Amino acid sequence: METKEEKKKGNFWLTVATFIVSKRKAIMILFVFAIIYSVLSMNKVQVNQDITSYLSEETETRKGLNIMEEEFVTYGSARVMVANITYPEAEKLVDKIEDIKGVKSVAFDDTKDHYVGSNALYDVTVDGADEDPESIAAIRGIREELADYDLYISTTVGAVADSAEMLNREMNIILVLAVVVIIGVLLVSTKAYLEIPVLLITFGVAALLNMGTNYWFGEISFVTNSIAVVLQLALAIDYAIIFCDRFMEEHAVLDSEEAVTVALSKAIPEISSSSLTTIAGLVALMLMQFRLGFDMGIVLVKAILFSLISVFFLMPGILLIFAKGIDRTHHKCFVPNITFVGKFAAKTKYIIPPIFLVIVVLAFIGSNNCHYVFDVNSAEGSKKSDSRIEVEKVESVFGKSNQLVVLVPAGDYEKEKHTLNQLESLPFVKSALGLANQEITEDYVLTDKLTPRQFAEMTNLDAEIARVLYSAYAYHAEQYGPVVTGIDDYGVPLIDMVLFLYDQYQEGYVTLDEETDEMLTTLYDTLHDAQIQLQGENYTRFVLSIDKPVEGQETYDAMEEVRAAAEQYYGKGNVLLAGNSTSAHDLETSFATDNLIISVVTALFVMIILFFTFQSAGLPVLLVLTIQGSIWINFTIPAVQGQAVYFIAYLIVSAIQMGATIDYAIVITSRYTQLKTEMPIEKAIVETLNQAFPTIFTSGSIMTCAGFLIGNISTDVTVSSMGTVLGRGTLTSIILVLFVLPQILLAGDRLIEKTALTMNITRAQKDVAGRVRISGHVRGYVQGEIDADVQGAFQGQMKVSVDTVLPGRQGQITEEEGGTGE
């Protein structure tokens, strides 16, 4: 008999496992400290709610947004619609809205832009930015003031905080339901009731460690923050299940501690290799130009690593704590055999593969014809939030509001005036806002040049004071010519002179009567607001309202017309556009590249891993084709249904689906390649499916349910669309792995054998007759085929080779009395 010491000496992983099990108490103490650290660190995680911040810094949208953040103030705004109201009643509400604290201005008139049928629309501007407390309070005040009316508000004010709060509530519900689903699945698939708390504790610790260390990255996206826990659960819980199943197998013949040790030694390499394909898909995500992929990829890679650490180091100790309870709570595994699926595979091995090949080609074409959208407001989720319903109600009556910002170099009011006139003449431009077309009186716009006399008349200043003021302005601007040649014909833009006069008045250089003081203060407030919104240090901003959808080729063509109009005065390369339409265009431009990167890199990484796993060149191609086919089918379904798919869902889910569900194909293929050496391939595939189905059922049902729960509960379109696509994709992969892959393996058996790499040198087979004693791994024929570890005596005839596989022993056949051997 082989001693324990001999086994440990000959098996590296057994040595590692023995160390982990023997030090389990110390390891558990370290985990307690890690859990405390993670719980205390969770609140340090900064969550980024702005998807556009993940655009490449080289994109036009990102450049434009950076400039606007640095040089301009953008006040929050809202489209407030009151339904079922007469026009006179609607007019009276203007004063009520204006009196609400935090409301800056209200625009309303009798045009179709503000009153249609019995619906009134108020364009409200608030005193702060979208997420400022005073802005949020103003919108809340409007809701309270107009609570008795049929009120609908379309606004981005407070939207980030509201959506984050809603998403957190929804994800908590989803997580609870996911745990319920997992418990239900485990009750069916496990062999002892107390396996379930072991699995849940292990996963819970891994999830805590991952959430508590997300602050290491500074900030993470709201998409990653909301969905990472559920994805970690779906992707990694099968690692704990694999280890638990190994323990149950070993515990049938070994005591608890030895069973945990041996099971861990076998589980470490198996689980580690299984995790590689998932990690490969996530690494592919990290290579995307759109950096949301990197954000999600790196957090989920960390999640997988913490799951592995929890399974390898914490779970052995937990298993031993629950070992007696597990022994007392054994029950029947309720996952049925699926013999009929194996028999169906054997009968259709030459029928299903060609049909599948045709379907794959059609699915490839269909997925390429799927309509992808790049603006979140264009995407459809399974469930709409209250704010989304309000937005759609306003848009159904008054149309969509699509604003496009044009940034041009500052400093030339004449160019600005001509450019705005040119932009306003474009047929799809509903309005164009800029300093050079904002009327301050019936006669003047903000950038008109006024002489001292004209300025005095407009402001009721004394003419001499105005001349002195203009002279002071000329000295201040270092324009000495007008002072020498005569100040009366010196023209200064109205906005510049009002701001200069106000500064001089504040510093005490100019004295004004009470009436002029009030007029100047009001004028200054108006001009200052316009300036900080429309004029920066280096750039001037034009705000256009265009009669085009947010995305689509007609919109992109219109954007190029806008650019061309501005470049007539500012030259090529000096005009930047920004807005939802430019964001959608930039995302669409990067989509093709990111799609190629994810598809190629994921498939390549997975094929390399499979190549070394199975030592075959043909087998990886067949497995990847099966899962890639499921991805194409997944995105053909919405194409056939005429539904649009949010591009983020495609990019992220296609990588996750390939990396995670290829494991199902690996489970079946591994068992099949082993079993076909022991029995005919038709029987091997039947037995393979019966053995593999519990694993696929457990892992696949959890991921499928998690995806559909996210898709049907979350009101956030980004998260919801990812969940729906993930659930449908996982289900598609399971169907193909069970009902197509077996036929492919059977039909392609000869191809697999021919492309297999014989990495090991085969020992020569010897004829043996009589009684012999065997010690080693036997491969050959004994009135049939044998491939097994044998230690004992044999009586009869055989043609076999014996390899050295048992640690510390030389594989051999020893002649006994009446026998011949070697």
DSSP secondary structure string, 8-21?
A: HHH-HHHHHHHHHH
Residue range 424-464, pLDDT digits in tens: 999 999 989 998 888 887 788 888 899 999 988 888 888 88
Q: Tell me the residue type at 667.
A: V
Q: Is 74 exposed, middle or buried (0-12, 13-18, 19+ CB in 10 A)?
A: middle
DSSP assignment letter at 311 = I
Residue range 625-678, pLDDT digits in tens: 998 999 999 999 999 988 888 888 888 888 888 877 888 888 888 888 888 888
The first and second tokens of residue 312, run together, are: 């390898």
| Rounded (to 5) percent helix, strand, coil in the chain | 65, 15, 20
How many Å apart are CA 68 and CA 271, to the nearest integer?
49
Position of tokens 């099949």? 672
The first and second tokens of residue 589, run together, are: 């431009």
DSSP assignment letter at 547 = S
Residues in the chain: 822
How many Å apart are CA 424 and CA 418, to the nearest integer?
10
Task: Provide the pLDDT for residue 766.
Answer: 55
CB distance 591 to 289 below 8 Å: no
**3-state DSSP assignment of residue 168:** helix
How many Å apart are CA 139 and CA 128, to the nearest integer?
11
Residue range 312-371, pLDDT digits in tens: 999 999 999 999 999 899 888 788 889 999 999 999 999 999 999 999 999 999 988 889
How many Å apart are CA 65 and CA 657, to the nearest integer?
34
**3-state DSSP assignment of residue 151:** strand
115: left (phi > 0), else alpha (psi -120 to 50), else beta? beta
Q: Is 618 exposed, middle or buried (0-12, 13-18, 19+ CB in 10 A)?
A: middle
Comparing 120-134, 339-353, 408-422, 605-619, the range with the smallest average pLDDT is 605-619
How many Å apart are CA 438 and CA 655, to the nearest integer?
51
- Give the full edge-to-edge strand order of the sheet including 785-803: 785-803, 766-781, 812-815
CB atoms inside a 10 Å sphere around CB 578: 23
Farthest CA pair distance, the chain? 135
Residue range 240-292, pLDDT digits in tens: 888 888 888 888 888 899 999 999 998 888 888 878 888 888 888 888 888 88
How many Å apart are CA 141 and CA 146, to the nearest integer?
9
CB distance 649 to 790 below 8 Å: no
Task: Provide the pLDDT for residue 417.
Answer: 92
Three-state SS annotation for 681-694: HHHHHHHHHHHHHH
Q: What is the mean pLDDT of the chain?
A: 85
Q: Mark out the alpha helices in 287-428 (DSSP H runs).
A: 292-309, 315-328, 339-347, 352-368, 386-398, 413-424
Q: How far is CA 127 from CA 139, 529, 532, in A?
A: 11, 10, 13
How many Å apart are CA 236 and CA 629, to the nearest integer?
23
573: left (phi > 0), else alpha (psi -120 to 50), else beta? left
pTM: 0.78
Task: Provide the pLDDT for residue 601.
Answer: 87
pLDDT over 80 at 422, yes or no: yes
pLDDT over 70 at 190, yes or no: yes
Task: Provide the pLDDT for residue 715.
Answer: 86
CB distance 771 to 731 below 8 Å: no
